[in-house]
Structure 1
Amino acid sequence: MAFLELQDIQTHFPVRKGMVIRKVTDVVKAVDGVSLSINQGEILGLVGESGCGKSTLSRTIMQLIPATSGAVVLEDQNLSTLPQSEVRKRRLDFQMIFQDPYASLNPRMTIYSTLAEAINQRHPQLKGQGLNDKIVALMERCGLDQRFMKKYPHEFSGGQRQRIAIARALAPEPKLVIADEPVSALDVSIQSQILNLLLELRKDLGLTMIFISHDLSVVRYIADNIAVMYKGKIVEYGEAEQVFNHAEHAYTQKLLAAIPHIEQSA
């Protein structure tokens, strides 16, 4: 049985026009019939250009945007039918890493407070030295020095802030992590560090991940399987090397052709 199953997910947004009486004149089909199965411990790479529906799909899985139809089934439980109170409890099991860590971190909270708040969602009784030890261990796991725990987000570099965002996502001890373009705003050298960190976390913690990107070469490095999204639909799916080397859909071939290549001079 799949750890996470998306069953014909459709997420549509009505377009309304009119000054007084606003009528629905069109529908934007951001996600239009997506079905996927993800096994426990797998990293699925979700690839596509801006506007193809990747982020909307991720937020639908997170239950931040309700699906128009279809089902998000996590460990045999249909999240789409749960009341919001139950979704909030279950959300401890699935967390998200956003593209811009600075925008996703509270600038008025220290790193200690940020991580403590997230840890207490799972362990509300944990206080004092026990909480401090857990924060230190979490920071070290994500490559952060414990000396920084009293600092604020603006005092860190972009790569460090993304490590903080990853630590916060891990703090409630989730089973599923959705990473939405987590390295696209980082320098290439920092990108590789963050990708390697995510691979280590998958190995050490047994995490299941959905890694979203527009860059096929980045996804090839980290993902077991790749799903290519175009205009709200999955147009290609397969093992990473299979998709990379034997792409069948014209859109996937176009993405591959757009990858920069350095030509060797004679």
Structure 2
Amino acid sequence: MRFCPNLSASTEDTLDDQALLRYSRHILLDEMGIEGQEKISQAHVLLIGAGGLGSPAALYLASAGVGTLTIVDHDQVDLSNLQRQIIHSTASLGQNKALSAAQTIYALNPHIKVNALSTRATDKELDQLVAAADIVLDCCDNFATRHAVNRACVKHKVPLVSGAAVRFDGQLTAFDSRLDNAPCYHCLFGEEGEASDGPCATFGVFAPLVGMIGAAQAAEALKLIIGLGSPLIGRLQLLDARNMQWREMRYKRDPACPVCGCNKT
């Protein structure tokens, strides 16, 4: 496993005067306060993918003060990415996306810790990365990787926030194996057969759509970290950006699921 160097020093356990000012608009929220902001500042979020979804998710998590962000992406920044992958710039062309994202995050908030993994993580490495995290954001467009991340999250009982976007259609949901009878990704999207989110190079994607879904993933992650509101457990949000309409589909745990069901081996 090869990590790029951390781009910041260590995370403080308590909020100093500068942090109190930086995060003051969070602290003013009765539902959050200093206690909620401290939970954010002490959290470790693993972000799989630094593309269209990962860009806004990483920026909002960093601006919110998440103490440690580990970003995994083996790809390089391409000119066609810049239409929607807002964490990268023209100056980032040809650079590894995880490292490019880390540099942008550091410029935004130098007080958090960023780990950039610039190679494709194996199943074993994903297992180790998930085990070290408090929450995982799946921002990739690779069906096999989504299932590998899900298996690791179920194994280690780490909450997972999943997003997807292609053309004008977005999806958003969350999973939390710490809860009894909570479904997992496999319960919703089986691993059998051919499936993927569809490569943007083939189908295209509406630029603001990935921003909306990625930002919503960050919101769900912060809610789970703080214990705020009602997370999207067992609820799949579907966005039609053409007509700006949200729909919700509810789903349950599959008792026969090979990953989280009672019949798993």
TM-score (ref. length: structure 2): 0.27
Instruction: Please say which structure displays the higher CA radius of gyration.
Output: 1
Higher relative contact order (CA 8 A, sep 6+): 1
TM-score (ref. length: structure 1): 0.27
More strand as a share of residues: 1
